[in-house]
Amino acid sequence: MSFITEGFLASIPVLSADEAAVVREQFNDLEARVGRETAQIGLLDRHHDEPFIAALARHPKVLEAVERALGPDFFLLATHFFCKYGEGEAASTFVAWHQDVTYWGLEPATAVTVWLAIDDADEENGCMRVIPGSHVAGIREHATAQQAGNLLSINQEVLVTQDEEASAVNLPLKAGFASLHEGCLIHGSLPNRSTRRRCGLTLRYVPTEVKQSTTNSQGKRWHPTLVRGIDRYRHWTEE
């Protein structure tokens, strides 16, 4: 399987089982401080004030995988937890099919996301799903999702064909393992049908040649941090 043709890499070992258990405790502590409602989708860019998230975003195994996809020079653009609880009202939450870069306002629209499993993620608790090769044709039109419970920022959704839906693959991951996907790859996840939490940390990276051409879906500008290599372009006011 190749990242170029498929648009993703599955099961990258990042943390040992013991290290993953420590990170889960650190996340549990953060979750206890902010509450479940915020932990679900509201923990955006907390690498600025939570050292354990900053360390994960700069973890050598993560950066090594990103370098294979983006080359030697890149920024950390953002970090964001996606936490699906399998109980109560939150049990209907899901992530509609989408492409990450659609509303990020980047030029060129090149980015990758590392999805690091904080909890074990499997089919039952709604692991990530991807449509292999769907990144090749570029950005597709997004509509508004009709089903309630979409965790995405502006309730966006790419409408996919039956054949595409049938070709989707699940990306189950043990805690401490990661997948990596290209910014145009169509991906999403189904509701959590278990009583186990399914938490993943998304780490977004862009090569240094990328600029911000418009504000993102939140009407904001990004504040990326150089995490590997050299910034020869100076497009961003670096933090």
Ligand X SMILES: O=C(O)CCC(=O)C(=O)O
Strand partners for 208 = none
Taking the complex as a whole, how short is the minimal distance between the CB of residue 157 and ligand X, in angstroms?
Answer: 11
Of the two residues 8 and 236, which places its CB atom closer to ligand X in the complex?
A: 8
Taking the complex as a whole, how short is the minimal distance between the CB of residue 8 and ligand X, in angstroms?
Answer: 11
Taking the complex as a whole, how short is the minimal distance between the CB of residue 150 and ligand X, in angstroms?
Answer: 10
Burial 173-212 (b: 16+ CB within 10 A, else e): bebbbbbbbbbbbbbbbbbbebebbbbbbbbbbbbbbbeb
Residue located via tokens 């051409």: 213
Of the two residues 59 and 204, which places its CB atom closer to ligand X in the complex?
A: 204
Taking the complex as a whole, how short is the minimal distance between the CB of residue 131 and ligand X, in angstroms?
Answer: 13
Interatomic CA distance for residues 202 and 195, integer angstroms: 22
Taking the complex as a whole, how short is the minimal distance between the CB of residue 173 and ligand X, in angstroms?
Answer: 11
Of the two residues 156 and 212, which places its CB atom closer to ligand X in the complex?
A: 156
Interatomic CA distance for residues 146 and 160, integer angstroms: 14
Residue type, 217: S
Of the two residues 195 and 233, which places its CB atom closer to ligand X in the complex?
A: 195
Of the two residues 184 and 227, which places its CB atom closer to ligand X in the complex?
A: 184
Helix or strand (DSSP H, E) at 12? strand 8-13
For β-strands 112-117 and 8-13, DSSP reports them as: unpaired
Interatomic CA distance for residues 209 and 107, integer angstroms: 9
Q: Interface with ligand X by CB under 6 A: which residues? A: 82, 95, 100, 113, 115, 128, 187, 189, 200, 202
